[in-house]
Amino acid sequence: MIVFDELLQGLKNGDRRFLARAITLVENELRGYEELLSKLAINKQIPVTGITGPPGAGKSTLINALLKNLSTKKNANGDPYQIAVLAVDPSSPFTHGSLLGDRLRMYEHFNNPNIYIRSLATRGALGGLSAKTLEVIDVMRSARFDHILIETVGVGQSEVEIVALADTTIVVLVPEAGDEIQAIKSGIMEIADIFVVNKSDREGADLFASNVIKTLHDRPFKNNWNVPVMKTIASGNEGVDSLVEMIYKHLQKVPPEKNLQLLAERTYRLIQQEKMRGITVADLLPKLTVAMKEKDFNVYEFVRKIIVN
């Protein structure tokens, strides 16, 4: 039996055991998870930074470097920063769990009591995120953290969903992507609040960064924020201090209308998830098998009936 008062108090106190239990409850939609979500005391002041970009850009290495920097900071109470990392990983086709282990990628921070790392499987969801990312972030925002980082699956242009979750979105690119800017810019190029050219010690990094800046000239100026292009060498911790400063500078610039837009996007996705609850490809197959035998079968009419029912 779930004792919600105890679970909620454990979250408020920053007890990691209760946090892990709450996330498991929500991620797997176990009995009582909806009641838990409805009772969360969500601290909307906790900043959420999303890190996205194509595979091989060094997102995990950059997060490692960010953790080193953020873990040296003190909060308003003079205590060390408490940081949460939500690493969204591809799903195993067999267990539907995460394929990439957070302990493998961020092992050096595993024993740090001020850093909490959790993997979340996509379970077939598109957009580089899990369908439960929104709810898990809210659970984390109900715990005692000073900053939350999200790393998305490197799936390319469909990663735009991160915009609905993060206060600041960082798009990580590498010099080798120089020939791909034109293809990329129609997708993830439009979502960045900050661009990071990682592995900038490689040949062509300066030219690549200049090309990204030129590409940004075609993008409308939004929210009184001039999107910066920063260079880092995450493996050597170079440029990371400046990146952290830029993240907090952006957080101070986020206008109220963007917060409202974020809330609207989150609400939309929650409604979307609720509408799709209980509908799977496996469930649709036998229904389609029967429906397709009808002479006047129409897929749109079929979908309409599924939604209405």
Number of domains in the chain: 3
Q: Which residue has the tokens 């911790």?
A: 237
31 in any annotated domain: yes
pLDDT value at residue 222 = 59
268 in any annotated domain: no
Q: How many CB atoms lie within 10 A of CB 267?
A: 12
Q: Clarify whether residues 202 and 184 are in a common domain.
A: yes
**With 50 as the cut, is the pLDDT of residue 164 above it?**
yes
Confidence of residue 94 (pLDDT cuts 50, 70, 90): very low
162 in any annotated domain: yes
14 sits in which H/E element: none
Q: Clarify whether residues 186 and 92 are in a common domain.
A: yes
Q: Clarify whether residues 8 and 82 are in a common domain.
A: no
Looking at the whole model, is its pTM more than 0.85?
no
47 in any annotated domain: yes
Q: Clarify whether residues 35 and 66 are in a common domain.
A: no
pLDDT value at residue 273 = 75
Q: Clarify whether residues 17 and 52 are in a common domain.
A: no
pLDDT value at residue 24 = 92
**With 50 as the cut, is the pLDDT of residue 102 above it?**
no
Confidence of residue 84 (pLDDT cuts 50, 70, 90): very high
Q: How many CB atoms lie within 10 A of CB 180?
A: 12
Distance CA 271, CA 275 (A): 6
**With 50 as the cut, is the pLDDT of residue 52 above it?**
yes
14 in any annotated domain: yes
Q: Clarify whether residues 37 and 50 are in a common domain.
A: no
pLDDT value at residue 244 = 97
pLDDT value at residue 88 = 81
* pLDDT, tens digit (0-9, with 9 covering 90-100), for 214-224: 888 766 555 67
Confidence of residue 126 (pLDDT cuts 50, 70, 90): very low
Q: Clarify whether residues 33 and 171 are in a common domain.
A: no
Q: Supply 42's token pair.
A: 């969500």
Q: Clarify whether residues 14 and 117 are in a common domain.
A: no
Q: Clarify whether residues 152 and 111 are in a common domain.
A: yes
Higher pLDDT, 156 or 280: 280
What is the C-alpha R_g of the chain? 21
Find the distance separating the first CA and the last CA of the chain, reported in whole Å.
33
pLDDT value at residue 155 = 47
Confidence of residue 96 (pLDDT cuts 50, 70, 90): very low
**With 50 as the cut, is the pLDDT of residue 98 above it?**
no
Q: Supply 231's token pair.
A: 């260079």
pLDDT value at residue 89 = 67
267 in any annotated domain: no
Q: Please report, as a single letter, which amino acid is at residue 104.
A: L
Confidence of residue 268 (pLDDT cuts 50, 70, 90): confident
What CATH number is given to the structural domain containing 131?
Answer: 3.40.50.300
State which residues form the domain around 165.
Answer: 42-262
Q: Clarify whether residues 16 and 59 are in a common domain.
A: no
Q: Clarify whether residues 35 and 55 are in a common domain.
A: no
273 in any annotated domain: no
Distance CA 190, CA 200 (A): 22
231 in any annotated domain: yes
In this prediction, what percent of the chain has a pLDDT beyond 90?
A: 37
Q: Clarify whether residues 165 and 186 are in a common domain.
A: yes
**With 80 as the cut, is the pLDDT of residue 106 above it?**
no
